[in-house]
Copies of this chain bind each other. A is one copy, B any other.
């Protein structure tokens, strides 16, 4: 028994596969590093460009530094708590089997170290990804002076660095943990997932608040009051706005998708271990490793497919079609991936009797179909080429109110289709895994199928992130072009790339939400297996024995569980209310700062450079301060619900959160995207064009949609995963402490204290709204007649 206990019992072929997957992960990282070097080697244009770029770079660094300081404290505390948690929850049977006498220490180290690993990987993806985006933008601007294809490829490949980093680290983490822990991996995997999710929540929420505070603040004063154009150097918040695109759309999005990537492999491995154990009987008594090896290979194939697809992302100076170039890359990758899955299935996925097991392949392939379907649904509802957005534009003719109503209806409708697509994917999994082969363990098998669907869906994460990061990079390049006053031919190239970037950014949001939901649903499956294992230990129930104290389901007929469902459903609504207010508050501060600076003599005339760093500082501080309330709620609410209502109601709570979180997230994302593009559709010359009354009405819709689509909606993705992972981690403790009894008096006291903490946190944050608005927004009243 070596230190790599995960390799014990694997066949020679399987061992080779695991090492091969590890190699692919490292290869992805090496590719990212090489790509990064080649981008850094590119030209950075003239001094004027570098001057403004310097501000952006400094601002971005300042944000990351501050963000790091905020989270490092939370990380240390939680790592210690996870290490100490073995004092309450003893090591599982599987851990004892793998580690013998060292089981407790192995679990303690696994949980805490894996947590830190997940957190640092997630942070690295966000931070390095944002870094390369900031390096890329000036080089895109410089390249656009020479060639369209060059500029497009620079932007896309800067995104690919992040994409490869994401898939490389995600695969590396999962594989390493499996290699060290083998069948005892679930504990460490949960820690790994939780670390990643928590950082993603911080990056997503903090980034979302930052970017929209800077954006809305800059627009409210710049465009509406002072009549400055977009990206004007006299606007003190212009750099904060550009930094915000990187912070929100790059760092936040990358960390969020990385987390889904991680969480789906975590749940696939956990459920795969359960299935492997259950299948041992029909496998000649040997633990069936296929359910663990398969997702790892699939992920490896995905990395290769993304790499190859990358080559096809090119266009030429006559066609200048960035969108079709990226789509070509995507579909090529998808085709390669499916062929790869098929090969693995034919060669490896057969049982002891030699029959090929099709279900895992089908579920994984369904994931790719799901990814494409969600892209299409999002595109249909948010692109100017289809009826919904055009209808919202048309509704702007009768004013802002009808524009808003039309967007609301569109958003609600789109969430229905997104849910249906996901429901069909889950239902498909029921069919695939409904056969006799899995009849002893149908639920677990189906949920394993759902996690494979998630893995399939995120196979092309490399492409997805490249396309998404393309958005802020092109946007920033365009900003630098405006600030530095580049020539028209270059600006034309960047304008086109910017507009394509808006589309790709919007489309990938659908996948981000969908994958978060799928990840949450498959974590939901791990919840049962995890809780049951602890219950067997706590209540001394022999493996295989049936006992009514075991959690076999989440029974909604039980009113207590229904209460859990109701509270869970309310959580995303609370979160949305708080994030909307957080943006308003932070934007109010930016408005004041920009106004103050515009009054400084020389600034309005363009002779004095505004103090960009101050606006950056305000956004950074505000975002981090708001983060704390939201973080506290995300962590404490599941704990309170779990201890008050017990584990089964906690399961109901999770279902409620997934349901309403998914509906709200899609609604917000698509309504926001549609309002944005309805404005653009009018700007293209329809219904009166730019400056007309319908355009003003559409601007209102766009401003309403901004925090919904870039802050509140995206914040719900990591929320879903964080509360699922926290619940998974605390469920054993709840079982241990509550032992299925009604709550004891000391427990009730602790809970009441926690509820007071949460209520106080929410109240304080609401009071701040009033306070700040009284004090700052009040002065922020623009001159009458200038209003939109």
A window 551-579: CB within 8 A of B:
552-560, 562-563, 565-567, 569-570, 573-574, 576-578
Residues on the B chain within 8 Å of A573, using CB: 412-413, 415-416, 663, 667
Segment of A187-195, A326-334, A648-656 in the binding face: A648-656
CB pair B391 A423 closer than 8 Å: no
Determine the distance from Cα of A164 to Cα of B701 in the docked complex, in whole angstroms.
45
How many copies of the shown chain assemble into the complex? 2
CB pair B787 A696 closer than 8 Å: yes
Residues on the B chain within 8 Å of A415, using CB: 570, 573
Segment of A93-101, A118-126, A252-260, A777-785 in the binding face: A777-785
- Does A42 sit within 8 A of B, measured CB to CB? no
- Does A397 sit within 8 A of B, measured CB to CB? yes
Residues on the B chain within 8 Å of A788, using CB: 399-401
- Does A266 sit within 8 A of B, measured CB to CB? no
CB closest residue in chain B, given A417: B570
Produce 1/0 per residue, A758-788, CB < 8 A to B.
Answer: 0000000000011001100110111011011
Determine the distance from Cα of A774 to Cα of B387 in the docked complex, in whole angstroms.
12
CB closest residue in chain B, given A697: B787
Known: A400-B400, A401-B703. A447 touches B781 (CB 8 A): no
Residues on the B chain within 8 Å of A400, using CB: 400, 700, 788
CB pair A427 B397 closer than 8 Å: no
Residue of A574, A655, A701 most packed against chain B (CB within 10 A) = A655
Known: A557-B651, A559-B447, A570-B416. A581 touches B409 (CB 8 A): yes
A289 smallest CB distance to B (angstroms) = 24
- Does A404 sit within 8 A of B, measured CB to CB? yes
Produce 1/0 per residue, A389-416, CB < 8 A to B.
Answer: 0010011011111101110111011011
- Does A166 sit within 8 A of B, measured CB to CB? no
CB pair B420 A556 closer than 8 Å: no
Interface residue from B578, B651, B781 paired with A398 (Cβ < 8 Å): B781
Interface residue from B426, B581, B591, B708 paired with A559 (Cβ < 8 Å): B426
- Does A450 sit within 8 A of B, measured CB to CB? yes
- Does A378 sit within 8 A of B, measured CB to CB? no
CB pair B406 A404 closer than 8 Å: no
- Does A659 sit within 8 A of B, measured CB to CB? yes
Residues on the B chain within 8 Å of A555, using CB: 552-556
A514 smallest CB distance to B (angstroms) = 12
- Does A156 sit within 8 A of B, measured CB to CB? no
Determine the distance from Cα of A557 to Cα of B708 in the docked complex, in whole angstroms.
31
Known: A693-B784, A700-B404. A553 touches B563 (CB 8 A): no
Residues on the B chain within 8 Å of A408, using CB: 576-577, 580, 704, 708
A457 smallest CB distance to B (angstroms) = 16
CB pair A707 B405 closer than 8 Å: yes
CB closest residue in chain B, given A445: B559
A40 smallest CB distance to B (angstroms) = 40
Determine the distance from Cα of A659 to Cα of B443 in the docked complex, in whole angstroms.
24
CB pair B565 A659 closer than 8 Å: yes
- Does A634 sit within 8 A of B, measured CB to CB? no
A738 smallest CB distance to B (angstroms) = 16
- Does A103 sit within 8 A of B, measured CB to CB? no
Chain A binding surface SS class: helix
CB pair A556 B652 closer than 8 Å: yes
- Does A692 sit within 8 A of B, measured CB to CB? yes
Known: A557-B528, A559-B447, A574-B416. A395 touches B584 (CB 8 A): yes
Determine the distance from Cα of A558 to Cα of B441 in the docked complex, in whole angstroms.
11
Residues on the B chain within 8 Å of A577, using CB: 408-410, 412-413, 416
CB closest residue in chain B, given A666: B573
Residues on the B chain within 8 Å of A420, using CB: 567, 570
Determine the distance from Cα of A771 to Cα of B660 in the docked complex, in whole angstroms.
33
Residues on the B chain within 8 Å of A707, using CB: 405
Produce 1/0 per residue, A410-439, CB < 8 A to B.
Answer: 101101100110110011011000000000
- Does A446 sit within 8 A of B, measured CB to CB? yes
Interface residue from B406, B416, B659 paired with A584 (Cβ < 8 Å): B406
- Does A238 sit within 8 A of B, measured CB to CB? no
- Does A224 sit within 8 A of B, measured CB to CB? yes
A675 smallest CB distance to B (angstroms) = 10
Residues on the B chain within 8 Å of A700, using CB: 399-401, 404, 700
CB pair B554 A557 closer than 8 Å: yes
CB pair B394 A778 closer than 8 Å: yes
Interface residue from B429, B569, B696 paired with A663 (Cβ < 8 Å): B569
A302 smallest CB distance to B (angstroms) = 24
A454 smallest CB distance to B (angstroms) = 13
Residues on the B chain within 8 Å of A688, using CB: 784
Known: A443-B557, A559-B429, A573-B412. A387 touches B770 (CB 8 A): yes
Determine the distance from Cα of A558 to Cα of B423 in the docked complex, in whole angstroms.
13
Determine the distance from Cα of A694 to Cα of B781 in the docked complex, in whole angstroms.
9
Residues on the B chain within 8 Å of A696, using CB: 787
CB pair B559 A419 closer than 8 Å: no
CB pair A782 B443 closer than 8 Å: no
- Does A200 sit within 8 A of B, measured CB to CB? no
CB closest residue in chain B, given A785: B693
A662 smallest CB distance to B (angstroms) = 8
- Which residue numbers of A lie inside 8 Å of B, CB to CB? 220, 224, 387, 391, 394-395, 397-402, 404-406, 408-410, 412-413, 415-416, 419-420, 422-423, 426-427, 429-430, 443, 446-447, 450, 521, 524-525, 528, 552-560, 562-563, 565-567, 569-570, 573-574, 576-578, 580-581, 583-584, 591, 651-652, 655-656, 659-660, 662-663, 667, 688, 692-694, 696-697, 699-701, 703-704, 707-708, 769-770, 773-774, 777-778, 780-782, 784-785, 787-788
25 of the cross-chain contacts (CB-CB < 8 Å) are: A391-B769, A394-B778, A397-B780, A398-B782, A399-B703, A399-B782, A400-B788, A401-B703, A401-B704, A401-B788, A404-B700, A405-B583, A405-B704, A412-B574, A412-B576, A413-B574, A427-B560, A430-B559, A443-B559, A524-B562, A556-B652, A562-B655, A570-B663, A688-B784, A697-B787
